[in-house]
Amino acid sequence: MVELAILSKYPFLNASKEYVTQNNLSIEELLNDPIYKRARTIGVQRIDNAFEKIDVGNRSFASEADCIMELLSYPIARMIAVCINDNYFKKRYALGEAVHAYRNLIDEKLSFLLDVLKEFDINVKYDEEKNNVSIYFVDYLKYAPTRYKEWKMINRSMEKGFIKIKHKELARILQEALRLRINEELDERDCNKTVFDIFSSDIKRIQNIVLLHRKKIEAEPIGKLDVKKLPPCMKDILAAIQAGENVPHMGRFALVSFLNSMKLNINEILKLFSTAPDYEEEKTRYQVEHITGSISSTSYKPPGCQKMRTYGICPVEKIDDLCKKTRHPSSYYRAKWKEGDKK
Ligand code: SF4
């Protein structure tokens, strides 16, 4: 039996779920019984911390009761997250859980990480003699943040389909696998009415915070850029980034190169990305600096409409009359400015 303290630290593990099942705990008890009031309070804390700090937070594990409350706070937080019913929030919550797990996982022994990886069906090989671990390239590509330089395949050596990986990197792989798993699970579930009724004041409070946060993001000027004049394609990519959607590399590339061509500086572009729930400044800065040419010899030009269509990032159902007359998102934007000047 895995220690209770471990289960509380990693409440997403199968053993943690088994603990709850074996103790015959019903959802009704969890939600109503005064014994679990602390678990409910911590559940709300998890939610608040995930949104504000992108980490569900540390609490005391001093007693058995502490551990049980911590463990039970996890399913409660998830049920509340579903009822908040906001895509951006759910993504931010999933990230908060995953980042918290990562911060604990980096201090665990390799054997523990290997067990957790197994639970996530991530194919890794451990060479005891050489004391090195490698990961199957398909899993690597699925979970590694390959948009960053050190994770790019070109900077990795592969042998018979397996890529060598360090201890800390395994924890990062697990962070991503957990984030995706929680995202998926939250998307699949519907809000339970009892959960909504019990936590209604917290749910409404957080919904308001999310709403204010969104309004702040949308009202924030991006350099001299007038967001209202953006072509439909750029509006879509921008909205997806701000809502925490998974924007494909080409979409990010098109937006950054477009903004660069509009003379926005790197900090202004970064500010725009900083509202994404999985924003990591250092890494995003590298990407932006690369596309804009400030750390490479090439400053990439934004793709034209034809290329945007080929990559599936021109929202054909939203194109307007100006789109029909233009061949480049930048020309669209300039034409909009001219239209404005004439009025
Ligand atoms: S037609 Fe061009 S400017 Fe208009 S949405 Fe498509 S890619 Fe963007």
End-to-end CA distance of the chain: 73
Q: What percent of the chain has pLDDT over 90?
A: 59
Which DSSP state fits 59? -
Cross-strand bridge partners of residue 159:
162
Model confidence, pTM: 0.75
pLDDT at 318: 87
Q: What percent of the chain has pLDDT over 70?
A: 94
Average of per-residue pLDDT across 79-85: 97
pLDDT tens profile 239-298: 788 766 667 789 999 999 999 998 888 888 888 887 766 677 777 888 888 888 877 777
C-alpha 199 – ligand 1 centre gap (Å): 44
pLDDT at 24: 87
pLDDT at 91: 86
**Nearest protein CA to atom 7 of ligand 1, as residue:** 305
Integer Cα distance of 41 and 259 in angstroms: 44
Which DSSP state fits 275? T
C-alpha 166 – ligand 1 centre gap (Å): 43
Integer Cα distance of 68 and 241 in angstroms: 37
- Strands of the chain (E only): list them: 124-127, 132-136, 158-159, 162-165
Q: What one-character-per-residue DSSP string does 217-249 give?
A: HHHS-BTTB-GGGS-HHHHHHHHHHHTT----H
Q: Which helix (H) or strand (E) holds 142?
A: helix 137-143
104 phi and psi, to 5 degrees?
-85, -40
pLDDT bucket at 154, cuts 50 / 70 / 90: confident
Pocket flag, ligand 1, residue 303 (CB < 6 Å):
no
Integer Cα distance of 123 and 73 in angstroms: 30
Closest CA to 169 of 147, 208, 143: 143
User: Pocket of ligand 1, candidates 308, 324, 331: which has the most ligand atoms within 8 Å of its Cβ, to mutate?
Assistant: 308
Integer Cα distance of 135 and 114 in angstroms: 11
Looking at ligand 1, which atom is closest to the CA of residue 234?
8
User: Pocket of ligand 1, candidates 250, 253, 305, 331: which has the most ligand atoms within 8 Å of its Cβ, to mutate?
Assistant: 305
pLDDT at 341: 59
**Nearest protein CA to atom 3 of ligand 1, as residue:** 329
The Cα diameter of the chain in Å comes to 75
Closest CA to 80 of 181, 197, 159: 197
Average of per-residue pLDDT across 144-162: 85
Integer Cα distance of 1 and 154 in angstroms: 42
